[in-house]
Amino acid sequence: MDKKNLILAFESSCDETSVAVIENGEKILSNVVATQINSHKRFGGVVPEVASRHHIEQVTICIDEALKEANVKTTDLTAVAVTYGPGLVGALLVGVAAAKAFAYANNLPLIPVNHMAGHIYAARFVKPIEFPAIALLVSGGHTELVYMPYENEFQIIGETRDDAAGEAYDKIGRVLGITYPAGKDIDELAHKGKDSFHFPRAMMHEENFDFSFSGLKSAFINTVHHADQINETLDRADLAASFQQSVIDVIVEKTLWSCEQFSIKQLILAGGVAANHGLRDTLSEKLSEQYPDLDFVKAPLKLCGDNAAMIGAAGYVAMKHHVFADASLNAEPSLEFDWVPDAVK
Amino acid sequence: MKVLALDTSNRPLSAAVLDDNQLLAMTTTNIRKNHSIQLLPIVETLLKQTGLEAEDLQRIVVAQGPGSYTGLRIATTTAKTLAYTLNVDLVGVSSLKTLAANVNDEGRIIVPLFDARRDNVFAGIYQRTATEMKTIMADRHISIKHLIANLLEMQVPVWFIGQDVSIYEETLKLQLTDNFHRVSRAQDLPDAYVLGQLGLNEKPVEHPFNFVPKYLRLTEAEVEWKKKHPHEDTKPYVEKI
Ligand SMILES: [Zn+2]
């Protein structure tokens, strides 16, 4: 029998410290996630210096728990994988320093992983990825469509020109008095209301794969402020439903158009906002109507947020393609996949 | 005992390998280069030069703060991860004390300082005795005005050390007059050999798990939040999910 490939993976790009042990790129032996949400709730959003301080408190505890839970000894490991970007630089540095030291002390190869590739590979825990594929990545920091012509190749075909979808959720959440992180509560509230405000759907019919959510955010805020001024109370559920419908319509429309333009075998939905039920359901419905043969793979709900399991899965693929880093690996806060400038056909 | 000592608390980076009180190899840089890129390659080279493997190390000593927050975290994360995975002692030493220990003259009162901007410094007051570095004033974040007031009260000659002293040199000279002294520039850089020796004599932490830098300062966001919410909290700040 072949020796198992066991990757110890690190993730610390934002407000979750996570360490996981992944077998053969497809099986989660452990996935320890320490979330700092309670801390950043105090400030209504992630404060980078506070995040970095929590990461260093947690990192070795997470390593230890991940190894114990997986029942794996250091000598069983094949490699170490780590998120080196994109994300908050101070936060990334803690994971990178810990992963490098661990790999060095135990003579293990080090695999640098792009956080966004990690999000896509959360879907790997549902089934193998088949190429060519497109991934719709929606999170607090990103909204992008990524084309994957073959394994370990990621090309951006479109992204947000201003706010990420998750960012817009947090901003309108503040207006509705919903504490950070607002995504889940707005999603729930939206299900109780109906789309009655008809907010704008920016760029929806433009022939590109880009998004824009700042106009929607402004329209929302103006609507609420105007009502405040004339002492009118708007239905919060309807507001949430209208906002969410506008976000979903644009994302779904652009995604469907990408399926039209590229001949792909799979569409992957991933990223923190991929946990949004409205988005998951609408996309499933539209895809089964319009592209019944297309394989739609949604990242498991539990793995939509930041976690190291997804980094281990992406790291396994990178390792297959001989992507390694040395002891000088640095954090790259604005790391991006390559763009495909001629994506629009 | 084979010791690895690391200091990245400010712009200079110093790393050394010791065998008890004997220096085996050391590298110190003082360039505007990212410590994250530099530190581990330097450690690799030092161990290679000394013919040691990581698992030969028996104690990791790190300058624990104060200093640049990001800088502190690079050596501290590296040190705590090495100590954890190699299962060896971990010792944190004050970055200011490390600097003060560059001065060997017995009896001298030494003030190491790092600039903390807006007329504030991180500083401590130490005295070199025959056997140790005695703490006269514990490390703290303090305005230069208060530090000067403390020193005026002591009415003794004091020796300033650190690259950032130059920022406040005029004020210090003016106020402390003849009691102001400056060590030679050659002593202004942290020296991981000195750090390693200090670390040999200090008690290791119980476990690397809870080891964090000594920032000596809350983040601004936390200070503001505490002002506005004196009786509230959202603890525990970090939870496993
Ligand atoms: Zn993420």
Here the CATH number for the domain that contains residue B220 is: 3.30.420.40
Residues of B with CB under 8 A from a CB of A: 34, 36-41, 43-44, 54-55, 69-70, 73-74, 76-78, 80-82, 84-86, 208-210, 212-213, 215, 219-222, 225, 229, 234-241
Say if residue B8 is in the same domain as residue B87: yes
Say if residue B82 is in the same domain as residue B150: no
Say if residue B111 is in the same domain as residue B51: no
**How many other CB atoms are found less than 10 A from the CB of residue A156?**
20
Q: Count contacts between A and B (CB, < 8 Å).
A: 133
Say if residue B73 is in the same domain as residue B19: yes
Q: Residue A344: is its pLDDT beyond 80?
A: no
Task: Answer whether A316's CB lies under 8 Å from A25's CB.
Answer: yes
Give kind and range of the element (H or E) at residue B214. Answer: none
Say if residue B137 is in the same domain as residue B29: no
**How many other CB atoms are found less than 10 A from the CB of residue A228?**
12
Q: Which of A129-133, A150-154, A338-342 has the lowest mean pLDDT?
A: A338-342
Q: Residue A182: is its pLDDT beyond 70?
A: yes
d(CA B62, CA B85): 16
* Minimum Cα–Cα distance from B240: chain A residue: A34
Domain ends where: B159, B182, B205?
B182
Q: What percent of chain A has pLDDT over 90?
A: 90
> Any chain B CB within 8 A of the CB of A104?
yes
> Any chain B CB within 8 A of the CB of A50?
yes
Mutation to test the A interface, candidates B233, B238, B239, most A Cβ within 10 Å: B238
Domain ends where: B150, B182, B214?
B182
Say if residue B62 is in the same domain as residue B112: no
Say if residue B21 is in the same domain as residue B90: yes
Say if residue B6 is in the same domain as residue B87: yes
- CA neighbours closer than 13 Å in the CB half-sphere of residue B18: 25
Q: What percent of chain B has pLDDT over 90?
A: 95
Distance of CA A299 to the CA centre of its chain: 10
Q: Residue A64: is its pLDDT beyond 90?
A: yes
Domain that holds residue B158: 103-182
* pLDDT confidence tier of residue A338, bands split at 50, 70 and 90: confident
- The alpha carbon of A306 and the centre of ligand 1 are apart by a number of angstroms equal to 5
Average pLDDT in chain A: 94
d(CA B172, CA A84): 43
Number of domains chain B is built from = 2
pLDDT (tens digit, 9 = 90+) per residue, A225-272? 999 999 999 999 999 999 999 999 999 999 999 999 999 999 999 999
Q: Residue A84: is its pLDDT beyond 50?
A: yes
Query: Which pLDDT score, from 0 to 100, does residue A180 have?
Result: 83
> Any chain B CB within 8 A of the CB of A88?
no
Say if residue B107 is in the same domain as residue B165: yes
